[in-house]
Amino acid sequence: MKSQRVKSMLSAAVVIGTMASAHAEDVEVLHWWTSGGEAAALNVLKDDLAGQGIGWQDMPVAGGGGGNAMTVLRARVTSGTPPTAVQMLGFDIQDWAAEEVVANLNGVADAEGWNAVVPDALQQFSTYDGKWVSAPVNVHSTNWIWANKKLLKEVGAKQPETWEELIVTLDKLKAAGYIPLAHGGQPWQDATIFDSVVLTTGGIDFYKKAMIDLDPEALGSDTMVKIFDRMSQLRDYVDKNFPGRDWNLASALVIEDKAGMQIMGDWAKGEFLKAGKVPNEDFACFRMPGTQGMVTFNADQFVMFDVGDSKAQQAMAKAIMSPEFQSAFNVVKGSVPARTDVSNEAFDACGKKGMADLAEANKNGTLVGSMAHGHAAPAAVKNAVYDVVTNHFNGGMNSKQATKALVSAVQDAQ
Ligand code: BGC
pLDDT digits (tens, 9 = 90+) for 114-137: 999 999 999 999 999 999 999 999
- 370: region left, alpha or beta (phi > 0 left; psi from -120 to 50 alpha): beta
Stated as kind and residue range, the H or E segment containing 302 is strand 300-304
**Rounded to 5 degrees, what angle do the CA atoms 176, 190, 272 make?**
60
Q: Can you give the pLDDT at residue 358? A: 97
pTM above 0.85, yes or no: yes
Pick from 30, 31, 32, 34 the residue to mutate for probing ligand 1's pocket: most ligand atoms within 8 Å of its CB. 32
**3-class DSSP state of 179:** strand
CA of 87 to the centre of ligand 1 (A): 10
Q: How many angstroms separate the alpha carbon of residue 191 from the centre of ligand 1?
A: 13
Q: Which of 89, 140, 141 to mutate to test the pocket of ligand 1 (most atoms within 8 A of CB)?
A: 140
Each domain of the chain, given as residue ranges in start order, spans: 26-140+299-368, 142-296+371-412
C-alpha of residue 278 to centroid of ligand 1, in Å:
21
pLDDT attached to residue 412: 98
Please state at what angle helix 379-393 crosses helix 187-207, rounded to 10 degrees: 110
Residue closest to 333 by CA, chosen among 319, 316, 317, 350: 350
pLDDT, position 21: 39
Q: Which pLDDT belongs to residue 161?
A: 97
Q: For ligand 1, say whether the CB of 382 is within 6 Å of any of its atoms.
A: no
Query: Is 301's C-beta closer than 6 angstroms to any atom of ligand 1?
Result: no
**Long-range contact pairs involving 275-282 (C-beta distance under 8 Å, separation at least 24):** 275/36, 278/348, 279/348, 279/349, 279/350, 280/149, 280/349, 280/350, 281/149, 282/148, 282/149, 282/150
> Quick one: which of 278, 266, 248 has its CA closest to 335?
266
Look at residue 22 in the predicted model and tell me its pLDDT: 41
Q: Which amino acid is at 394?
A: N
**Ligand 1 contact via 136 beta carbon (within 6 Å):** no
The span from the first CA to the last CA of the chain, in angstroms, equals 69
Q: Is 48 in the pocket of ligand 1 (CB under 6 A)?
A: no
Confirm or reject: Cβ of 92 under 6 Å from ligand 1: no
Q: Enumerate the β-bridge partners of residue 285.
A: 146
**Ranges of the chain whose pLDDT falls below 70:** 1-24
How much is the pLDDT for 2?
42
255 three-class SS: helix
Q: Ramachandran region of residue 293, left (φ > 0), alpha (ψ -120 to 50) or beta?
A: left
- CB of 32 sitting under 6 A from ligand 1: yes
User: 142-296+371-412: CATH homologous superfamily?
Assistant: Periplasmic binding protein-like II (3.40.190.10)
Q: Does the beta carbon of 373 sit less than 6 angstroms from any atom of ligand 1?
A: yes
369 lines ligand 1 (CB under 6 A): no
Question: CATH topology of 26-140+299-368 equal to that of 142-296+371-412?
Answer: yes
How far does the centroid of ligand 1 lie from the alpha carbon of residue 242, in Å?
19
298 lines ligand 1 (CB under 6 A): yes
pLDDT score of 25: 83
From 33, 86, 87, 142, the mutation candidate for ligand 1 (largest count of ligand atoms within 8 A of CB) is: 33
Indicate left, alpha or beta for 8 from its phi (over 0: left) and psi (-120 to 50: alpha): alpha
* Residue 375 beta carbon below 6 angstroms from any ligand 1 atom: no
pLDDT of residue 149: 98
Q: Which atom of ligand 1 is nearest to the CA of 373?
A: 7
pLDDT at 1: 40
Query: Using CA positions, which residue lies closest to atom 12 of ligand 1?
Result: 64
Closest ligand 1 atom to residue 140 Cα is: 8
Residue 13 Cα to ligand 1 middle (Å): 42
Nearest CA residue ID for atom 5, ligand 1: 64
CATH superfamily, region 26-140+299-368: Periplasmic binding protein-like II (3.40.190.10)
The edge-to-edge listing of strands for the beta sheet with 55-60 is 55-60, 26-31, 85-89, 300-304, 134-136
